[in-house]
Amino acid sequence: MILYVVLDGITLGVALLFGAFADERDRSILVSTIGPVWDANQTWLLFGGGAIFAAFPVVYAVLSSALYLPLITFIMGLIFRGVAFEFRDEGPRKRLWDRAFFLGSLVAVLSQGLTLGGLLTGIAISGREFAGGPFDWLNPFSVMVGIALVPGYVMLASAYLVLKTTGTIQLRAYTFVRGSTQLVLAFMVLVTAWTPYHYPAVLEHWLNPPRIYFVWTFPLLGLLAAYRLTKGVRKRRENAPLAWAIVLFLSGYLGLAASLYPYAIPPHLKIWDAAARPESLRFTLWGALFVLPLVLAYTSYSYWVFRGKTDETEKYGG
Amino acid sequence: MDLLSDPIMLSRLQFAVTIMFHIVFPTATIGLGFYLVVVEALWLLRREELYYRMSRFWGKVFAINFGVGVVSGVVMEFEFGTNWARFSTLGANVFAPLLYFEVLTAFFLEAGFLGIMLFGWGRVHRGVHFLATCLVAGGSVLSALWIVAANSWMQTPAGFRLVDGEFVSAGFCAAIFNPSTLIRFGHMLTAAFETTAFAVAGTSALFLLKGRSTPFFRRSMAVALASAALFAPLQVYLGDVSGREVYVHQPAKLAAMEGHWTTNNGGGAPFVFAAIPDTEGERNRFEVSLPDVLSLLVTHTLSGRVLGLKEFPRHDRPNVPVLFASFRLMVAIGFLFLAIMVWALLLWARDRIFEQRAFLWTLVVIQPLGWLAVELGWVTAEVGRQPWLVYGIMRTSEGVSPIRAGNVVWSLTLFVVIFMAIGGSYLYYVLRAFGMGPDMASPIPPLQRPAGRKIVDALADHET
């Protein structure tokens, strides 16, 4: 279970860090805020994928066959975003690559939301493999989740920009943070109200012990975060928006996880039926225990080297 | 069967397209990473400005290359789930941890220090920067070890038990260092070093022919040729060891690579120089062969017994014409490179290596062949593994996802379009970086400056 928390934290981190990119449009300065660190962020996605594959192979296999189309589209969006990001700095045709950068990110976020929504609405399984059709994931709920992720990532990204930039960009970022936070809250309410419709067991989970005692803490935490975030924006604090935006996201994800547990894939597959063999889990867990702290240490070092406000001259490969 | 409605063939095709596009980039990352370590070490040791300029120039190419490698690699990891879900479910206990450790130990290392390597020239001490370069290069080598281990486990599986058709680990050491991992790792690593060395030499030769930045490219070419002189003969040797490993563990693959149909009972097996294999008739047309040489190569005796393809049922044989041709071409390129290095050595002895135009043109022309050899090597390895996904245990057709063919048609189309766009732009930008030539004018970052400070401040300090 510890492993599960670790993994969830990481996939979470992936989603969070990726969010920071979703709103980066056509200004070099925005791009250079993420320039030095984006490869590391991309690696967290790979790690998330690898960790799920190693720890919960059935989840990995079933999900990726069931959500084949949105997942592949998501990855393609990412690829497009990634190379557009890199090539735009290499010289001519900046505008073209800016457009590719934006569209790639948008496609990635929308299809990521569709993937998540598709998971929440349940997946047909027989035995240990997917048994549904190619478009099972497509329904109003998953479309809604897809759209909901956009303000979510805008919120994270603009809170990050508040921290990393100065002047007019920072001022505009403050405005974005506030607007997107309100949208995020609205969507969170919507998701909370809508999920039980697709997945009635959630209501039972919420309303019965032991979960009734703590499941309410997540929305409360979310509200607190939103409040502190808005306050931080009003007082023009630089650090508060990002920190609380992350907490707001965490509250959403943990709330979902706590509601779904013990199901890894609703409505059939439970988490322990999906896990890998204990000897394999031990092997990967030891790896995580020893190597991950090291990874975190040198990644922080790299962030530390590039700390402070971004200056415009630092270009990719420059 | 109609290709467009066959998820197995489509998935294989898609994986082949992905991997053949992808492999170019890690090859260059490993090779250029090594080259950059050498150049930067030379800069620190000899303090010659030229080496710093070389680090920056080839580092720029490295940066363009690295980004494309990362994004094209992301696809592959997810394709195991999207297209090979049954294999992923049954094989994950042994196979997935290898990919997991690749990310954990290698990708993070590369990504964590790439920022410092590319942007950190003005922000960290030179020694720290060199360390970052070493770690990025080391990370790329480590990632090659893990991924070759994973692939080798599919070629020569070890360290597992089968429980209800599921692979269960019986010692990860045995699985990682399965019989073919180390030799294939060496073969691939050397391929990356050698291919990139020839690519750098070829590019430099073109500049020398045009007479642009001559001192810079002479030095670039010298470092590249020095490493090629080491790796070209090493690769021919490792290729031979690798072939013997295939002979021991994957006899059907070896027989197909060599176009060897009938087992030689009594007397040596001939080495087929050239032929057109006829799969239906189980024989070679227009065969040109050397008697006993195949036995000599793989068994080191003149009459060693080499199993022929006819020993294996038809449905257990790989595609003979493809293997026969790709293997032969790869070997030919290996020997061609060796011959060129002999020529280079003769020129070097007469001190004519930078002037002899025929030699420089040869370097320019043969440059793409290294990349071709890498592709052909992987075609040989992977087509040779068929019809097995895990050699001798699980068939490729048993590993595919329970999905409709239409899914794969969509993703394959998307891949081909996007890969063409990316590949085209990649070439355009690399050529453009070459076209601009090395930057010989920008200031060299000052020797020491605490991390985190702006370059402007430091320069100001430096002047006061």
Smallest Cα distance from B132 to chain A, Å: 10
* Model pLDDT, residue A312: 44
Which backbone phi and psi does B272 adopt, to 5 degrees?
-80, 115
- B168: amino acid identity, one letter: V
| Beta-bridge mates of residue B290 | B271
Q: For residues B8 and B405, what is the distance between their CA atoms, to the nearest angstrom? A: 8
Return the residue of B nearest to A286 by Cα.
Answer: B101
A-chain residues within 8 Å CB-CB of B96?
A: 50, 53-54, 57, 60, 276, 280
Domain carrying residue A222: 2-305
Tally of domains within chain A? 1
Q: Which amino acid is at B144?
A: A
Q: Please, are residues A59 and B397 in contact by the beta-carbon 8 Å criterion?
A: no
CB B199 within 8 A of CB B28: yes
Type of residue found at B242: S
Identify whether A235 is part of a domain. yes
pLDDT of res. B204: 92
Nearest to A42 among B70, B86, B120 (CB): B70
CA dist B128 and B264 (Å) reads 59
At residue B200, the pLDDT reads 93
Q: Is the pLDDT of residue A181 over 80?
A: no
- Distance, in Å, from the CA atom of B49 to the CA atom of B32, rounded to the nearest integer, reads 20
At B32 the pLDDT is 93
CB contact under 8 A, B67 and A91: no
- pLDDT at position A262 is 63
Give the DSSP per-residue string, A82-122. HHHHHHHTTSS-HHHHHHHHHHHHHHHHHHHHHHHHHHHT-
Q: Which two tokens stand for residue A30?
A: 């925005």
C-alpha distance from A198 to closest chain B C-alpha (Å): 24
CB contact under 8 A, B70 and A71: no
Q: Is the dihedral of CA B135, B137, B143, B149 positive or negative?
A: negative
Please answer yes or no on whether B97 and A284 come within 8 Å at the CB atom: yes
Q: What pLDDT does B224 receive?
A: 92
Joined tokens for residue B385:
């593994």
Interface contact B81-A36, CB threshold 8 A: no
**B370, exposed or middle or buried, with CB in 10 Å at 0-12, 13-18, 19+?**
buried
pLDDT at A148 over 70: yes
Domain positions in chain B: 29-178+404-464, 225-402
For residue A134, the model assigns a pLDDT of 67
Distance CA A306, CA B453 (A): 9
Residue-wise pLDDT tens digits, B284-303: 888 888 888 888 888 888 88
CATH number of the domain enclosing A267: 1.20.1630
Interface membership of A297 toward B (CB under 8 Å): no
Q: How far is A278 from chain B (nearest CA, A)?
A: 9
Distance from the B255 Cα atom to the nearest Cα atom in chain A, whole angstroms = 35
Which residue of B107, B164, B426, B453 is the best one to mutate when testing the A interface, meaning the one whose CB has the most A CBs within 10 A? B107
**Weakly modelled stretches of chain B, pLDDT under 50:** 448-464
Give the number of A-B residue pairs with CB atoms closer than 8 Å: 242
On chain A, the residues whose CB falls within 8 A of the CB of B92 are 53-54, 57, 60-61, 276, 280
Across the range A181-208, mean pLDDT stands at 71
- Give the tens place of pLDDT for each residue, A198-232: 666 666 666 666 666 666 677 777 777 777 777 77
Give the pLDDT score at B438. 83
Mean pLDDT of A163-183: 70
Of B333 and A12, the one with more pLDDT: B333
- B82-96 pLDDT, tens digit each: 888 788 778 778 888
Q: A residues 259-278 near B, CB within 8 Å?
A: 276-277
Does the residue A310 lie in any domain?
Answer: no
pLDDT beyond 50 at A21: no
pLDDT at B453: 45
The two three-digit tokens of residue A244, written as one number: 């609380």
* Calpha distance B183→B283 (Å, rounded): 31
Q: Is the pLDDT of residue A113 over 70?
A: yes
Q: What is the mean pLDDT of chain A?
A: 68
Select the highest-mean-pLDDT range: A73-87, A153-167, B281-295. Answer: B281-295
Is the pLDDT reported for residue A3 higher than 70? no
The model scores a pTM over 0.80 = yes
Please give the torsion angle defined by the CA atoms of residues B351, B353, B355 and B357, in that order, rounded to the nearest 10 degrees. Answer: 140
What angle is formed at CA B20 by the lines to CA B18 and CA B24, rounded to 5 degrees? 115
